[in-house]
């Protein structure tokens, strides 16, 4: 059974850092397109950062470029999102996602993506 479990969400002040983790089970991480999405209250879920299946190319939303970094440890079956210089507008529920068929997922409709974690709340106070 495929499962994704996020951790690391917290309440932080503007300018601080957080690292989110996504522990995967039931599948081999390096055979999947993986990534992080977020959803703020009243807004649609958006792709934040992703790693493509096959060439491991990375994608970052313009709003997080230079501040966030995605990585994965295949041996630990874990995907990370290092978030630096956090801003109040980064406040959202962050979701880990994975797909075995799509090459990349950040630019795909969320309904097309196979697997999702339960989400981790990140709150950034000003």
Tally DSSP H helices, then E strands, for the chain. 0, 11
Share of the chain above pLDDT 90, in %: 93
Q: What is the pLDDT of residue 1?
A: 87
- DSSP states of 72-105: EETTTTEEEEEE-S--GGG-EEEEEEEESS-S--
CA 111/CA 93 separation, integer angstroms = 17
How far from chain centre, in Å, is Cα 96?
5
Strand partners, 5: 23
**What tens digit of pLDDT does each residue of 7-54 get?**
999 999 999 999 999 999 998 888 899 999 999 999 999 999 999 998
């Amino acid at each position: 059974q495929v499962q994704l479990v996020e951790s690391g969400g917290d309440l932080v002040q503007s300018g601080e850092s957080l690292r989110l983790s996504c522990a995967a089970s039931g599948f081999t991480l390096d055979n999947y397109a993986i990534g992080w999405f977020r959803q703020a209250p009243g807004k649609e879920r958006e792709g934040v950062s992703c790693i493509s299946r096959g060439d491991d190319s990375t994608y970052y939303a313009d709003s997080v470029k230079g501040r966030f970094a995605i990585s994965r440890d295949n041996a630990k079956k874990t995907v990370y999102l290092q978030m630096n210089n956090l801003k109040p507008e980064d406040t959202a529920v962050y979701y880990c996602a994975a797909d075995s068929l799509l090459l990349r997922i950040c630019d795909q409709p969320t309904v097309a993506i196979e697997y999702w974690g339960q989400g981790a709340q990140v709150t950034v106070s000003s």
